[in-house]
Amino acid sequence: MAFIATLSTGAGTATIRLAGELDASTAPEFHDAIDDAVATGAPSLVIDASELTYIASAGLRALVFARQKVAEDVVISLTGVTEPVLKVIRMAGLDHGFAITGS
């Protein structure tokens, strides 16, 4: 499955839907989506990871980039996180910087 990062907005929330594998070759596309989400000025960012099948260290860095890029008062939620992806996020200790819900 090819990687897809799709941004949608509405009701004060920017949502980035991720599908496929988030790794070094696809992280720049996610970065672009984050930049676009920040430009909306939405007070909430939802990252829908329900179709994300794999996350590599570059994907973890992209999540850190997202946290650094948005304003401090912007809430970032990871939704639909599958167990394999959640395990990697937890192992990296990134589960404390985001509101996370599983699939």
Q: Let me know: does 85 contact 55? Beta carbons within 8 Å.
A: yes
pLDDT in tens, 61-90: 999 999 999 988 888 999 999 999 999 999
Q: How many domains does the chain have?
A: 1
The predicted structure's pLDDT at residue 103: 58
pLDDT band at 93 (very low <50, low <70, confident <90, very high): very high
Q: Supply the pTM of this predicted model.
A: 0.93
pLDDT, averaged across the chain: 93
Cβ-proximal residues to 51 (8 Å cutoff; 6+ apart), any chain: 4, 17, 18, 19, 20, 80
First to last CA, the chain: 19
The predicted structure's pLDDT at residue 101: 83
Read off the DSSP letter of residue 49.
E
Q: What is the CATH number of the domain that holds 24?
A: 3.30.750.24
